[in-house]
Structure 1
């Protein structure tokens, strides 16, 4: 049973906000890494990989157009593929203008990407389940009453 259009729109809006918040939270983490190199904890290093792919999943799930018909599993696969591709593209040689840009490929980032997409899918599934209408246990008022007697 699908959610009512109003609830479905509300859920998509919620997904959009979660995705946007995840992406905006990457900015202070990047600022901390850029301006305070002494803070070199693993959590700070992998935080963008924890926030970005999950945010991408929620943005895809909030889509009203192109991605609107994707199931949760399909959206998770798309977000995971894009995020992993962005991690592995760092291994490719860069052209001269980008040669001086510092890229850091790390297997912890790959693991964090997988965790991020998995947790995002779990949260999205739980939120989707919460927004589904609950089927009533009572029969509709115009339904005939059931009798256990044989006819």
Structure 2
């Protein structure tokens, strides 16, 4: 299994960061298309989005939401990973700043290639966090 965690601090209060990171409204700098609205009575769990990165389209599904604390998601298709992909995005309030801890765990479809997928996913995650930060600083 390939696992990694990216931790970043954004100079903005939790509510502002949480709103900017809304899984149902934004995929950072990547174009997003809604495929399924999810369950509005359960914080939109089941929400499915198609995220375009270059010539590739990734289908992501929201698994759980703990408002202002954490959400989890999986990749349903479009990446060379098995169906065990799990992303966990945690938001930790620390005074006037917010820490984001973004963990990813997956098994590659082809043994020995996980490091390549991890490099690409890390780059995408960092661009999404950059976009969250830019939105928070511009509001």
Larger CA Rg, structure 1 vs 2: 1
Q: TM-score range by the shorter chain?
A: 0.3 to 0.5
TM-score under structure 1 length normalisation: 0.37
Higher strand share: 2
Higher helix share: 1
